[in-house]
Structure 1
């Protein structure tokens, strides 16, 4: 993948975000602050459509140039388009949460089938998961899709998480000289960066559900494709996504155990608590980038380069400090 190609798609996403901002202002597609919000100024939303459109075009170009197999490319395009369209419609008007979740499951099931299933996957040094691996894969995609939406709450955080994750994995692909295509990772980073400049440090437009769900699903599919290669590489993906996985999962479990509904609006994620404590979104987003590059990336590198009997153990090592941070901040607590 040439630098020129990356620059072209960066510019495309950047320009399209400008047009999406103009469109949102004209159509009054505004995110007004509520009890879940971490912002206090009405801001146009839906800018992430630029990421979706530019990345889907990038995938089509890779397929045309025979740099990406038709099967993998169409799986990413079809699934991503459906989820992005669903999010776009939800941004323009409310869609019933149960209908939305049902579509999430249908898309996830279709992806797992398209990838050939995961019944052959073994874990913990020889444990054959069989058909249950397919169920786990579906739940993984649905949860990652939704948690990315939950975590898209302050300036730049969803974009920075995506960029640092895919860049980290692209580096690991290069180190391993894997057969997996790293071009799709670099292109995703370029497209997201084009949007990020409109969203950080001061948000001129928000990403919206169309893109947050799209990113969560896309990252999940890329992780499952890596699982087809080897378990350690999949664990590296899970490690690199650790900040979002831990914060969203810990907060949800804490709230459900406290009697709250899963989709109740709230501001008790670790990142939201920190943004209030520190009085700004910027240092929180930069802290996420630092954790991803200085803590999670080295652990992911160790996981894929060392002949570990249990690469799953490295996921626990990576997550433990993040869990302790969530506990310290009282994430999910009603008074947080």
Structure 2
């Protein structure tokens, strides 16, 4: 067999793997941005109340997304996508951001991270029940390893005397809102683009948070520039850009696998807090972060010779 007859096959394989690699890159960018959000929330949260911070973040995100959406001329999402956009906008962009900000004022960061990391487990359960997502043994094993790491990170970062019933309840509500928002968003991506779903989901969340407009205006006049810049950063990067790359990746894999990917966030938060806030992690924290990353690697791996059933990408031109 000649060399020329073999050459098209590697090229075809590279072409077939390109969407998978792009989705992996999008998921990686999302996880890094969401990890950085925890650091920025701690800074901005000292000057802004939970609702005002959520509204300011969502307004900055909606404005950024609106400009990109207008430049790309993607138009309105089709009617079939609106139920998923509305539910994800209300629960994930709206409820999740407000109650998480509030919850982190009631409990320490470690406890909050531990409780919110129930989210990927709920995504897997809801995705299996409502979307028919498979739950292969590797995914379940990886999520178990990552959750064990999240527990280690949470306990090692927990302070004393800061847990409250209200704070625990708020963090659990945040986890449920995140999970329900992801599962609701997935079907919408079958008929609308990632940019459309994210833009209008963010807008729905911003409208939901408008009752906090008075607080935002009042606190904006008194907040230090650093806190306001952190709020704007949260809106542009972890919200506008990272939620769009999340939706892009979610359209190309299952909700369960994408949920498992977010278990890398606690490990990255440990590193970022170390670098940005000079919070030196202990041995247990580092071990927990390593477990989180190891679990993500297991959850996203596939047995050799078996291809994952991946949904078709969202229609082009959206």
- Shorter-chain TM-score: what band? 0.3 to 0.5
Which structure has the bigger radius of gyration?
Answer: 2
Select the structure with the greater relative contact order (CA < 8 A; seq sep ≥ 6): 2
Q: Structure 1 length normalisation: TM-score?
A: 0.31
Q: Structure 2 length normalisation: TM-score?
A: 0.32
